Amino acid sequence: MSMKNAWARTMAVIAVAALAGCEWEGTDQSESTSQRYNWVRFDGTYRAAANGYLVSGFGDVLQITAETIGTAVAGVSSYNGVFDNDNVVPGTVQINAGVFALTDNGAGALAGGGKTGTIIYKTGAWSINLLGEWPPGGTPIVATYRHGDASSPGGGGEPIYTMTVQQAGNSLTLIDNNGGTYSGLISTISSSGGQTIEYPDTTTSMPANGDTMTASFEVEGRSSSGVSVKIVGNLTGTATVTAATATTPSTIRLANRTIRGTWIEANGATGEVLGTAP
């Protein structure tokens, strides 16, 4: 064997030994991501109410809490009036008349407990019909809502009208209509019945029909204009539960889904995230 060939074989052995001694480590997310929330799904495309911006600036939007807008009269079940403020932000209205509470759907309709009503966002004109019922005479009728210029986009310079939610267990990805992508985790899912549920089974309290399911989340990413963004908020939906049979497991479907949260840019600017899906 020539000295040249012997040297080549020696170097090959050293190279193999070096590779055999390497340890290649991947990122282990087993402690943070899991499939434990696959039993309830928030996937879908969420759209801004009334064709507005899904992400809007906070700057000129004000919160109004428990504004007195009327007084109940015994025997009277229909009421109407006008809020003290116009330019009401869709999806933020709740009117309370004693035990009756009606909220808006972002498209001008009020509903709750089988009662109905309307709200004109531009003017603040409202009406409710308690359908043959009424609170005790003298009970204040109060409204909670936001108003102001919610038309300024808060999407890092690019208006955001829709957000597509992709869920895999507790892993969550949001993709806006401009292609901005934000990824993170669902921390908890709870029901209005009081349960915090990970793996529903025969030993776990299942949510009831009509329960509001709430998923708390935090995601991070970059907007299409390159701005670093964190979104912290909640996904909610109304549960329809189909009981298990001898051959099929129970199922839970969500309707009237909403995404609501805070848009936080690296430069300190903030905005409101608010959208709905069927």
pLDDT at position 186: 95
Last residue of a domain, one of 121, 148, 175: 148
Helix (H, G, I), strand (E, B) or coil at 144: strand
Question: Does 90 fall in a domain?
Answer: yes
Quick check: is 157 in a domain?
A: yes
- Cα 273 to Cα 237: distance, rounded to the nearest angstrom: 16
> Is position 6 within any domain?
no
Please state the domain count of the chain: 2
Span 160-186, average pLDDT: 94
The answer to the question of residue 231 being in a domain is yes
Q: Which has more pLDDT, 230 or 158?
A: 230
Token representation of residue 151: 């038309």
Other C-beta atoms closer than 10 Å to the C-beta of 47 total: 19
Q: Tell me which range, 51-65, 144-158, 228-242, is most confidently predicted by mean pLDDT.
A: 228-242
Q: Is the pLDDT of residue 151 over 70?
A: no
Last residue of a domain, one of 148, 174, 206: 148
> Is 1 within a domain?
no
The arithmetic mean of pLDDT across residues 19-37, rounded, is 47
Which is higher by pLDDT, 23 or 225? 225
As a whole number, mean pLDDT of residues 16-27 equals 32
List Cβ<8 Å contacts ≥24 apart for 190-194.
190/214, 191/239
Residues 128 and 227 in one domain: no
30-46 average pLDDT score:
80
Confidence of residue 199 (pLDDT cuts 50, 70, 90): low
| One domain, residues 212 and 135 | no
How much is the average pLDDT of 112-117? Answer: 94
Residue 140 has pLDDT above 90, yes or no: yes
Pick from 242, 188, 186: nearest CA to 218: 186
The residue range of the domain holding 101 is: 61-148
For residue 10, being part of any structural domain is answered with: no
The more confidently predicted of residues 63 and 42 is 42
Looking at the predicted structure, is the pLDDT value of residue 115 above 90? yes
Using the predicted structure, report yes or no on whether residue 234 has a pLDDT greater than 90: yes
Whole-number pLDDT of residue 135: 96
Per-residue pLDDT, 204: 54
Checking if the pLDDT of 18 tops 50, the result is no
Is the domain of 120 the same as that of 49?
Answer: no
Structure tokens at 222: 């970059």
Classify residue 268: in a domain, yes or no.
yes
Please check whether residues 86 and 166 belong to one and the same domain: no
- The answer to whether residues 93 and 196 belong to one domain is no
Q: What is the DSSP string of 193-245?
A: TS-B-SS--TTSPPPPTTPEEEEEEEEEEE-TTS-EEEEEEEEEEEEEEE---
Question: What stretch of H or E contains 5?
Answer: helix 3-20
Do 143 and 72 belong together in one domain? yes
Q: Which of 129, 148, 167 is the last residue of a domain?
A: 148
Closest by Cα among 227, 186, 194 to 39: 186
pLDDT of residue 9: 45
Considering the domain architecture, whether residues 211 and 245 belong to the same structural domain is answered as yes
Which one has a higher pLDDT value, 100 or 161?
Answer: 100
To which H or E segment does residue 14 belong?
helix 3-20
> Does residue 111 sit in the same domain as residue 130?
yes
Q: How far is CA 219 from CA 97, 134, 236, 262, in A?
A: 37, 44, 16, 11
> How large is the average pLDDT for residues 94-102?
97
Does position 84 have pLDDT exceeding 50, yes or no? yes
Do 126 and 107 lie in a common domain?
yes
Mean pLDDT highest for which of 35-39, 246-250, 256-260?
A: 256-260
pLDDT band, residue 194 (cuts 50/70/90): low
Would you state the pLDDT for residue 153?
59
156 and 261 in a single domain? The answer is yes
Whether 229 shows a pLDDT value over 60: the answer reads yes
- Whether residue 197 contacts residue 205, with contact meaning beta carbons closer than 8 Å, is answered with yes
The verdict on residue 7 lying in a domain is no
% of the chain residues with pLDDT over 70? 78
Mean pLDDT of the chain: 81
For the sheet with 100-104, list strands across it: 61-71, 140-148, 94-97, 100-104, 109-112, 115-120, 125-129, 78-82
Q: Look at phi and psi of residue 63 and say left if phi exceeds 0, alpha if psi is from -120 to 50, else beta.
A: beta
Same domain, 136 and 231: no
Same domain, 207 and 119: no
The answer for residues whose C-beta is within 8 angstroms of residue 2's C-beta and 6 or more apart is none
